[in-house]
Amino acid sequence: MTDATTGELLGDLYGYETLLTDDERKELTGIRRFLHEEVRPRVNDAWATSDFPMDLVPRFAEEGMVGRSYDLEHRPRASRLFTGFIALETARVDPSMATFLGVHNGLSMGSIVLLGSDEQRARWVPEMVALDTIGAFALTEPHGGSDVARGLETTARREGDEWVIDGAKRWIGNGTIADVVVVFARDVADDSVKTFVVEKGTPGFTPTKMEGKYALRTVQNADIVFEDCRVPAENKLEHGNTFKDVNRVLKLTRGGVAWSAVGCQMGAFEAAIAYAKERSQFGRPIAGFQLIQDLLARMAGNVTASLGMAVRVSQLQEEGVFRDEQAALAKAFVTGRARETVALARELFGGNGILLENDVVRYFADAEALYSYEGTREINSLIVGRALTGVSAFV
C-alpha cells in the first residue's frame, strides 16, 4: 500500500492487478501516469462548467486507450482484463471521462464492430480508433428507457436507396460532439428494431445539449430530434436487424460499467484515506479514530468485492461463456456498492465533502448516473431472477 498521490491502486487489497501480464502492467502504468498528470488537473473545472476538454481527445488515442477490445489490422485485441483495468483507471480519475470512452469504445464502436459488415467496419472503425471520429449511441428515448425493447417510438422507413428516420432520443452521451451516432429505430414495414449510423451534419438530425445535469457533468448528453432524416441504405448496419442484436452490444458493455463503478468508488476511497491522514481534530489525525477506520474498512470491503466481481466478469468474457445474467449481476451489484462507498467517503470528509476541490462530491454525484444507466438495478435484477428461476417477471 502506498500513498494515493503516487498513483498506485490503494484499493486493490487482494492484488488483482498482478493477474495482468508484465507487458500489460507496464502499459497500464503509462496510462495511469497520463491520467494523473494530464487529465486529473482538468477534471474539476470541466465538471463545474460542464464543458468537455476537446484538446484531450487525441491524447486518449495516442495513449492506446481506444479500440483495445477489437482485433484490428495493425493490433490484435487486448485481454478483457486489461481493457477492464483501463476503464477502472479512467473512472478512478474521472467517471465522466470513463463514460466518454465507454460510449465511444463500447456502445458506438462496439455496435459497428458487432453488427456491421466488413465494408462498414472498414469505413468507420479506423477513424474511430484514432479518435478522428467520435461516436455516440442513441437508444433511450424521451418516453422510453427500460421498455425500449417493446416501446421504441423512433421509426425508420425504406424509400429507394435511403432510410428515413423520424423520432427523438434522449440522454445520448457524446451526442453533441459525435461525428457518427448509432441509432436504433423501428422499421415500419416489419416492426423490428434496426440499427443505423447517422453522420454529423445529416439534414433532419438535430442534437441539443441537455442542461441542468448534476452527475457526469462533463459528458455531453444530448436530446436528438430526427425529422425526415434521410440516411443512405449503406448506413444501415448489416447485422442490426432485431432487438436481440442490440442486446449483444449491451451484454458486452454492462461489464465495462461495472469496471467504471469500481474506479469511481476507488477514487473516492483513496481520497478519503488521504484526507483522513492529513485532517486533524482534537489534536491528532482523524485516521487514528476508530469510527473513521471503520468507515475505511467498510469502503475497502466494497471496493474489493466489486473488483473481484469485475475481474471474474472479464475472465468469463475471455473464455467465451459470458451470459446475460452474469453481466446484469455485475452491473447491479457493483454500482450499488459504489453508491454506498461514495456516501461513506463523503461522510468521512464531513462538511468538506461537499467542496469540489476535495473531489469526493464529484464521485458522489457521478455514482448516481452509473447506478442508473445501461440498465437500472431493478431491470438487471429481473434479468438475474429470470435466469435463476426460468420465469420472466418483466411486464
Phi, psi of 258 (to 5 degrees): -60, -45
The predicted pLDDT at position 146 comes to 67
SS3 per-residue string spanning 322-355: CCHHHHHHHHHHHHHHHHHHHHHHHHHHHHHHHC
Phi, psi of 188 (to 5 degrees): -65, -20
The position carrying cell 448509432 is 182
Q: Give the Cα separation of 231 and 169 in Å (integer).
A: 17
The position carrying cell 469496471 is 259
Q: Give the Cα separation of 74 and 81 in Å (integer).
A: 21
The predicted pLDDT at position 5 comes to 43
Report which residue type is found at 338. Answer: A
Read off the pLDDT of residues 288-340 as tens digits, 9 standing for 90 and up: 999 999 999 999 999 999 999 999 999 998 998 888 899 899 999 999 999 99
The predicted pLDDT at position 295 comes to 97
Angle at 273 between CA 358 and CA 49, to 5 degrees: 20
Residue 118 forms beta bridges with which residues?
none
Q: Closest by alpha carbon to 269, among 88, 68, 80?
A: 88
The predicted pLDDT at position 149 comes to 66
Counting as low any pLDDT under 50, the low residues of the chain are 1-7
Read off the pLDDT of residues 258-274 as tens digits, 9 standing for 90 and up: 999 999 999 999 999 99
**N- to C-terminal Cα separation, the chain:** 48
E-state strands within 249-350: 280-281, 284-285
What's the whole-model pTM score? 0.93
| Arithmetic mean of pLDDT over the chain | 93
